[in-house]
Structure 1
Amino acid sequence: MSYLQIFCLVLLANIVLLVEANTYTNPIVPSSPDPWMTYYKGYYYFTATTGDNTVRIRKSKTLDGLKSAPQQIVFNDGLHNTWAPEFHQWNGRWYLYYTAGRTADIMTQRLHVAESAGDDPMGPYHFKADLVGSGDNTLEVDANLMTIKNKLYLLGAFNNNGQQHIFIKPMINPWTASAEKSFLAAPTMNWEKAGFPVNEAPEGLHHNNRTYVVYSASSCSTVDYSLGLLEFVGTDPLNAGHWHKFPQPIFRRSDRTHVYGPGHNGFFTSPNGQESWIVYHGNDKNTGNMCTKDGRTARAQKFTWNADGTPNFGEPQPAHVALTAPAGE
């Protein structure tokens, strides 16, 4: 074999390795309900509901590497049923939002926030504040921090007469509200009521000077748990009448790809800053309770934008199929 042939074989092998390194498969993390992640300074940082009283974060240089990345416990404040953690950066520190209860009774679930010691998403974190309003005496879950017109707002879900509704609250800073919560959205359409009337897990999303909230609808125990869309179309974010609810789900089960109950999502940007990505949980089985920890796995996929400016999440991608990794890996 000539030196040229050997060189070509080595080059081909390197190309194959490069292609393999730039793919990933779903699920990106097993047994991970309510996932949330971000890309920061060369790493993906991932968290989800763990099923115990801790918040754990894992990090990886590649999306596919999250599967085997070790989890680090970054916070445990001794409460019960720690759910749906998210961490957001503000003024050089990270603010970790989570749901937890004073007792094992889930109706005591409330929103709380912890603060990092520096600019490392892995912490350490210390307790900063409870986010319960003065008149609140009901379940509150799924905190999300977003900015609208350069002002901070806290989004979340609360129990209202046996239904799950979404609220919005103005914030002075990530741990201090300037007013009580305002109603934002309720399950009014049939596709939002499968199993139980639910609007929950709101996530802010911005694109080309337009502001959206993506939320989860119906009970997570059903195959029809899905994502809906609100758009801010007025001047006052605290006025529910200034938001438009789209009549159909924008992301739902796919019998073709065998993904059921997709929902409770987050958003992140590719390493090169050019691509929009969604992370969400889904289930590959369509029988029984979809809301179990082991059944719900974290999945990710790139999404695009429609000509009218709305997000296009496409169809949930199948499990165990090689997909192109985020640009810039």
Structure 2
Amino acid sequence: MCLIFVCGLSFAQQKTFTNPLLTSGADPYSTYHEGYYYYIHTQQDRLVLWKTKNLADLKTAEKTTIWTPPENTMYSKELWAPEVHMIDGNWYVYFAADDGDNNNHRMYVLENTSGNPMNDRWKFKGKLSTPSDKWAIDGNVFKHQGQLYMTWSGWEGDENGRQDLFIAKMKNPTTMEGKRQKISTPTYDWETRWEGGPDVLVNEGPQYLSNGEEVFIVFSGSGCWTDYYTLGLLQLTGEDLMNPENWQKHNTPIFAWSKENGVYAPGHNSFFKSPDGKEDWILYHANDNSGDGCGGKRSPRMQKISWNKDGTPNLGTPVSTKTILAIPSEEK
């Protein structure tokens, strides 16, 4: 009787958790669909998808490699920051990749029309680019008032020296439409900070966020290899997302490292809602130690966020790995 009882407890869903969710995993992203979260992060040489009812249970969740790129192509290596989306009834994964030369990073997309993203029915649909066809990483796809957009981090020209944020309309989930527009460039000290080296001019990892009225893009500033990797905020002040003048950048970061909590370089985030739709949460990666850099020590974490009276997001402070958190609220 005791053994059965204990076994029963072992299969019960955990109601609390501590970060990190996995020992390693940069650029975490998830999509909630029909009772399950579909989660993905950077693996460099392949795309792996997790399926779970509770993101706190990622360590034991079902997972499968959905796509491995063919060798000797312009998208065979350095697969970064994948995102999984359900758009108009079909599944899509967006990711950046190159041929081993960072100068050739561009955005690409896969499509799965089978209804089941955990199978091998993924088809490579090609490169996503505007007519300028410049360096691009960290694409985030979202719908606003029925129009599909992508925002990403890119170079204005053909040389590495500064990463700006761009936006473009999409004709459909696999095709860009028209020219890109630059909506942010790194200017504040927290977007350029790297102690012990030259200024690092980086805006990357843009993520759409809305409270139902206000529209924002949360992005990462400074180099991911520094302890000072941090999140900033763009706020839409007009109706046209393609007008750069309608994006106002807040002059201070909204989520930064916490030496007190032992969390360094928190960034490249995404957002999700709880299963009951009542809570907003942030997914992000961070390091446990100063100087851990931009490699395999970055681990995925999550915590609940709130909203300020002025409608802006309040992300709080990155919590310690010792902090016990309640899982996202469930359907009753």
Contact preservation (8 Å) 2:130, 2:177: no
Q: Secondary structure in 1 aligned to 2:163? A: strand
1:141-161 deviation line (CA, Å, top 9, x unaligned): 001111223211111111235
Aligned-partner Cα distance in 1 for 2:58–2:237: 37
How much has 1:23 moved relative to structure 2?
0.7
Secondary structure of 1:71 counterpart: strand
Structure 1 residue 183 and structure 2 residue 182: aligned? yes
What TM-score do the two structures reach when normalised by structure 1?
0.90
Cα distance in 2 for residues equivalent to 1:237 and 1:117: 29
Shift of 1:273: 1.1
Partner residue of 1:68 out of 56, 60, 65: 60
Choose which of 39, 51, 69 in structure 1 pairs with 2:32: 39
In the other structure, the counterpart of 1:246 is 250
Q: 2:132 aligns with which of 109, 130, 135?
A: 135
1:6 alignment partner in structure 2:
none
Percent sequence identity over matched residues? 37
User: Are the equivalent residues in 2 in contact too, given 1:92–1:118 (CA < 8 A)?
Assistant: no
Q: CA deviation at 1:172?
A: 1.3
- Choose 1 or 2 for highest CA Rg: 1
What are the equivalent positions in structure 2 for 1:272-283 lying under 5 Å apart?
272-283=276-287
Structure 2: segments with no counterpart, 5+ residues: 71-75, 195-199
Structure 1 pair 318/176, CA: closer, same or farther in 2 (3 Å)? same
Distance 1:110 1:219 in 2: 19
Match for residue 26 of structure 1 among 15, 19, 25: 19
Q: Report whether the alignment pairs 1:58 with 2:30.
A: no
Measured against aligned partners, the alpha-carbon deviations of 1:125-172 in whole angstroms (never above 9, x if no partner) come to 111131122322x32100111122321111111123510001000111
1:168 to 2:154 alignment: no
Maintained 8 Å contact 1:228/1:251: yes
Structure 1 stretches of 4+ with a deviation exceeding 3 A read: 16-20
Structure 1 residues 23 and 274: CA distance shift in structure 2, 3 A? same
What is the match of residue 148 of structure 1? 144
- 1:296 maps to what in 2? 298
Do 2:39 and 2:84's aligned partners in 1 also have CA atoms closer than 8 Å?
Answer: no
Question: How far apart are 1:13 and its partner, in Å?
Answer: 9.2
**Which structure 1 residue ranges, 5 or more long, are not aligned?**
1-8
Displacement of 1:310: 0.7
Contact residue 38 and residue 84 of structure 2 kept, 8 A = no
Q: Count residues with an aligned counterpart.
A: 315
Match of 1:212 in 2: 216
Q: Distance in 1 between matches of 2:234 and 2:12?
A: 38
Amino acid at match of 1:115: E
Instruction: Letter of the 1:128 partner, please give it.
Output: K
Decide whether the 8 Å contact of 1:230 with 1:244 is kept in 2: yes
User: How far apart, in 1, do the equivalents of 2:118 and 2:308 lie?
Assistant: 35
Give the match's secondary structure for 1:231: strand
Instruction: Report how far residue 320 of structure 1 moved.
Output: 4.1
Distance in structure 1 (CA, Å) of the matches to 2:101 and 2:154: 15
Q: Structure 1 CA distance, aligned partners of 2:162 and 2:57?
A: 38
Q: Report the RMSD for the aligned CA atoms in angstroms.
A: 2.3
Asked if 1 retains the 8 angstrom alpha-carbon contact of 2:284 and 2:300, the reply is yes
Out of 98, 117, 131, the position equivalent to 2:113 is 117
Deviations 1:188-223 (A, max 9, x none): 101100131100111001113111100010000011
CA distance in 2: counterparts of 1:17 and 1:75, whole angstroms: 33
Query: CA 1:149–1:41 in 2, change beyond 3 Å: closer, same or farther?
Result: closer
| Separation of aligned partners in 1, 2:66 and 2:11 | 33
- Relative to the length of structure 2, the TM-score reads 0.89
